[in-house]
């Protein structure tokens, strides 16, 4: 088996040009995740150090100048008593935290610099420091694993050792094909959509298949070097829950009935648009017709999915422009939302150093919205090319939620400045957005005129929300499920693509526009797969945000399950100090306690629960059930078929589709 050092060198070579993650956890990309209706570009990344910093080489000597942390390590062969071990371990970890904070700060500055100003010069500085930072991480990891830290009595110290004892890679994104994304969002020509879908995968995933197989093996080597069973075990370690996979499976089964009703309805509307020859009555939906390159969010086809097409949703973009809103005003409005809950205002550094709109000097930058923690307990920024619109206003609140989380846990030791688990950060931002997007809130802040509540407008709103949040659930679950099976040798390297489409058919009910083979590598077309970014955090976040929302709404007196006049989807926690107390109690904990403790602080429960999500969407689910019965839609989809064609293993999910394409089935397996 390769040594940890050899693995590290190979991975650096394999991921040449990419950056290794720091200590921020949620984190690995310093960004906000996969939300906002766009695929994550991985930019959680970096506006600029000023030229003075660059000229002076700010922090360039840190790697060679850190304090010697090995001198306080106890003689592990001696019989030092538990008290001495705890004291020495606490001293060691305190110095390590302080040193790591300096390195992390420099790494984030250089990533911010490049992402906010995409020049070769800034990239060179970032990559050079990234290599030093990676070497530093490896060196400190080697010191940490010398400690018999499981014998440390203090749980906080032990938790920090556990964090530092795992070494793993993170990456920056590949370039995006913006033009192709626009076509997927707006085209209604099935042949054009099919062409774009195929070309994206031809130019991305297919080319990296061999490298990814090698890379997956290296992930397992890293896991073994860190005393994990395999890569799956290592990835799930963040959740501190032995049966976490089983819990996720149970959560999926809890939400699957709602997803299947939505799937049946959307398939019917697509069939009405494209005809039976393109969309069958009972089969999987062709993935290229759902308005998104990965069929992970379906909001771009809301035009054919509104329950009441004549009723308009509450989009206050025009009102914002009429009222003279600017990007800065949008962020000030969001800040006031947080302070109305009794939470913290933004520090001066936020307003002075953030990039809140596209710079007027014409520089190129990564515009994807992202929130940044600079690891120094005072510098927190957002980078967003904000435009004045309601959609962007919601994104602003989402990103500000990340900043508030950073501020709340900033006084914890460096290793514990993270969300309670990888899903908490995303869940928090989305929880706040659930209040901001309500008609009630828009009325309170003067962006919506007083109008009588309309159940039909409500259903249109819930449909749009479901096309984002419910449609995403199986996709958010299956990406890592596919990778877990690969790391655990349930899936062989010879069956990567078939295993991928098997899961997409079974869980998501979609199929490719034409048969796929093992010469293809369709998972690689999704950024998070080659970037080695765990993805199930987004599934977890979708569940948690509704659990958080329900608890906060009840604390605010905005929701009563027994009162039909106050449904969960209309709740707005704005100005509720009681809701703010719960949020703060959870956020201040950071990663200092197991996530069930943090969940209990805000919800009173210690287990994730999908029933609040079902409560939120109950009016829509009831409507979908009746509508699908009325139109005779099949709920669910037929199982797929796996075949060989012309001696090459092919994957398809619909035998009728294959017969149409090839005239006959050759071998069924």
Consult the annotation and say whether 245 binds a ligand: no
Q: Are residues 665 and 566 located together in one domain of the fold? A: no
In the chain, what is the straight-line distance between the N-terminal and C-terminal CA atoms, in Å?
A: 35
Note the pLDDT of residue 11: 38
Identify the CA nearest to 34 among candidates 630, 491, 542, 452.
542
Question: Is 441 inside any structural domain?
Answer: yes
Beta bridge partners of 454: none
pLDDT computed for residue 187 by the predictor: 54
Query: Is 516 one of the annotated binding-site residues?
Result: no
The enclosing H or E element of 470 equals helix 455-487
**247 carries a ligand binding annotation:** no
Long-range contacts of 602-608 (CB under 8 A, 24+ apart): 602/548, 602/551, 602/552, 603/547, 603/548, 603/550, 603/551, 604/551, 605/547, 607/247, 608/247, 608/251, 608/540, 608/543, 608/544, 608/547
CA torsion sign for 151, 157, 162, 165 is negative
Q: Is residue 596 part of a domain?
A: yes
* Euclidean distance between CA atoms 519 and 591, whole angstroms: 42
Predicted pLDDT of residue 172? 29
User: Does any domain span residue 426?
Assistant: yes
How far is 331 from 386, CA to CA, in rounded Å?
10
Torsion on CA atoms 454, 455, 461, 462, rounded to nearest 10: 160
| pLDDT confidence of residue 649 | 52
Q: Left if phi > 0, otherwise alpha if psi is -120 to 50, otherwise beta: which for 509? A: left
**Domain identity same for 667 and 621:** no
Residue 419, domain member (yes or no): yes
Tokens of 129: 């420091």
Active site residue 336: no
Q: Check whether residue 575 and residue 659 sit in a common domain.
A: no
- Catalytic hit among 132, 399, 615, 633: 399
> Does residue 661 share a domain with residue 543?
no
| The pLDDT value given to residue 449 | 86
Residue 518 inside a domain? The answer is no
> What is the structure's pLDDT at 34?
44
Q: Judge contact between 352 and 323, C-beta under 8 A.
A: no
pLDDT at 198: 65
Residue 159 lies in a domain: no
**What is the total count of domains within the chain?**
2
CA distance 666 to 656: 13
Indicate if 433 and 554 belong to the same structural domain. yes
Looking at the fold, whether 643 and 624 belong to one and the same domain comes out as no
Q: Are residues 436 and 400 in the same domain?
A: yes
Assess contact for 554 and 605: CB atoms under 8 A: no
pLDDT tens for residues 232-285?
999 999 899 999 999 999 999 999 999 999 999 999 999 999 999 999 999 999
Catalytic residue among 288, 528, 549, 569: 528
- Name the token pair of 497: 């693509």
Q: Do the domain assignments include residue 466? A: no
> Is 425 within any annotated ligand binding site?
no
Residue 648 tokens, joined = 């090459």
- For tokens 């990533």, the residue is 111
φ, ψ (nearest 5 deg) of residue 173: -85, 160
Burial tier of 549 (Cβ tally within 10 Å: 0-12, 13-18, 19+):
buried
Shared domain for 596 and 645, answered yes or no, is no
528 part of the active site: yes
Q: Using alpha carbons only, how large is the chain's radius of gyration in Å? A: 25
Tokens of 219: 């992930």
* Per-residue model confidence (pLDDT) at position 76: 46
Q: Looking at the structure, do residues 547 and 659 belong to the same domain, yes or no?
A: no
Range of 402's domain?
317-350+383-457+537-630
537 is in an annotated binding site: yes
Asked if the structure places residue 402 within a domain, the reply is yes
In this prediction, residue 200 carries a pLDDT of 58
562 and 606 part of one domain: yes
Indicate whether 666 and 609 sit together in one domain. Answer: no
Residue 7 CA to residue 138 CA, distance in Å, equals 11
- Return d(Cα 541, Cα 536) in angstroms, integer: 9
The pLDDT, as a whole number, for residue 81 is: 66
Question: What are the structure tokens assigned to 232, written together?
Answer: 């799956």
Below-70 pLDDT ranges, the chain: 1-81, 167-189, 192-206, 639-669
442 and 546 share a domain?
yes
């Amino acid at each position: 088996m390769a040594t940890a050092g050899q693995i590290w060198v190979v991975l650096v070579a394999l991921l040449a040009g990419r950056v290794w993650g720091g200590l921020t956890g949620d984190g690995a990309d310093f960004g906000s995740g996969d939300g906002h209706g766009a695929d994550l570009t991985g930019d959680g990344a970096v506006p600029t150090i000023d030229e003075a910093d660059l000229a002076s080489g700010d922090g360039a000597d840190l790697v060679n100048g850190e304090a010697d942390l090995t001198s306080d390590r106890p003689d592990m062969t001696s019989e030092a008593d538990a008290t001495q071990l705890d004291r020495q371990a606490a001293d060691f970890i305190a110095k390590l935290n302080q040193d790591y904070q300096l390195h992390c700060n420099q790494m984030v500055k250089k990533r911010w610099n490049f992402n906010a100003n995409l020049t070769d010069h800034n990239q060179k500085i970032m990559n050079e420091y990234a290599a030093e930072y990676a070497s530093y991480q490896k060196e400190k990891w080697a010191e940490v694993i010398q400690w018999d830290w499981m014998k440390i009595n203090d749980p906080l110290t032990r938790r920090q050792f556990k964090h530092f004892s795992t070494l793993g890679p993170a990456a920056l994104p590949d370039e995006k094909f913006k033009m192709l994304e626009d076509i997927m969002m707006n085209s209604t020509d099935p042949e054009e959509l099919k062409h774009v879908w195929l070309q994206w995968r031809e130019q991305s995933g297919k080319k990296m298949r061999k490298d990814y197989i090698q890379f997956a093996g290296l992930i397992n080597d890293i896991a073994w070097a860190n005393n994990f069973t395999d890569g799956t075990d290592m990835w799930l370690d963040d959740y501190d829950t032995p049966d976490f996979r089983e819990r996720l499976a149970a959560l999926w089964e809890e939400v699957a009935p709602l997803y299947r009703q939505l799937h049946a309805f959307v398939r019917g509307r697509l069939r009405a648009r494209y005809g039976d020859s393109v969309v069958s009555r009972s089969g999987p939906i062709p993935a290229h017709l759902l308005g998104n390159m990965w069929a992970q969010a379906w909001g771009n086809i809301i035009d054919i999915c509104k329950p009441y097409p004549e009723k308009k949703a509450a989009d206050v973009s025009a009102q914002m422009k009429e009222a003279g809103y600017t990007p800065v005003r949008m962020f000030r409005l969001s800040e006031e939302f947080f302070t109305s809950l009794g939470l913290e205002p933004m520090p001066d550094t936020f307003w002075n150093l953030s990039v809140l709109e596209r710079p007027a000097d014409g520089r190129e930058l990564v515009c994807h919205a992202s929130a940044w923690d600079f690891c120094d307990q005072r510098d927190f920024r957002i980078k967003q090319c904000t435009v004045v619109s309601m959609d962007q206003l919601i994104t602003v609140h989402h990103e500000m939620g990340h900043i508030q989380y950073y501020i709340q846990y900033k006084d914890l030791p460096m290793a514990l400045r993270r969300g309670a688990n990888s899903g908490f950060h995303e869940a928090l931002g989305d929880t706040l957005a659930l209040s901001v997007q309500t008609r009630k809130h828009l009325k309170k802040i003067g962006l919506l005129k007083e109008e009588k509540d309309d159940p039909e407008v409500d259903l249109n709103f819930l449909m749009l929300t479901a096309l984002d949040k419910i449609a995403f659930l199986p996709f958010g679950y299956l990406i890592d499920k596919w990778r877990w099976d690969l790391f655990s040798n349930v899936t062989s390297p010879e069956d990567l693509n078939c295993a991928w489409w098997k899961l997409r058919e079974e869980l998501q009910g979609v199929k490719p526009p034409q048969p796929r083979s093992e010469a293809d590598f369709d998972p690689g077309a999704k950024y998070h797969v080659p970037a080695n970014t765990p993805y199930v955090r987004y599934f977890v976040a979708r569940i948690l945000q509704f659990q958080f929302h329900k608890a906060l709404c009840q604390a605010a007196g905005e929701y009563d399950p027994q009162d039909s006049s106050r449904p969960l989807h209309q709740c707005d926690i704005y100005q509720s100090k009681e809701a703010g107390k719960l949020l703060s109690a959870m956020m201040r904990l950071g990663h200092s306690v197991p996530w069930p403790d943090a969940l209990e602080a805000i919800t009173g429960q210690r287990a994730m629960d999908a029933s609040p999500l079902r409560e939120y969407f109950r009016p829509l689910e009831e409507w979908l059930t009746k509508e699908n019965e009325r139109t005779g839609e099949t709920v669910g989809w037929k199982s797929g078929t796996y075949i060989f064609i012309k001696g090459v293993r092919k994957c398809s999910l619909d035998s009728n589709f294959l017969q149409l394409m090839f005239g006959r089935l050759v071998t069924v397996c």
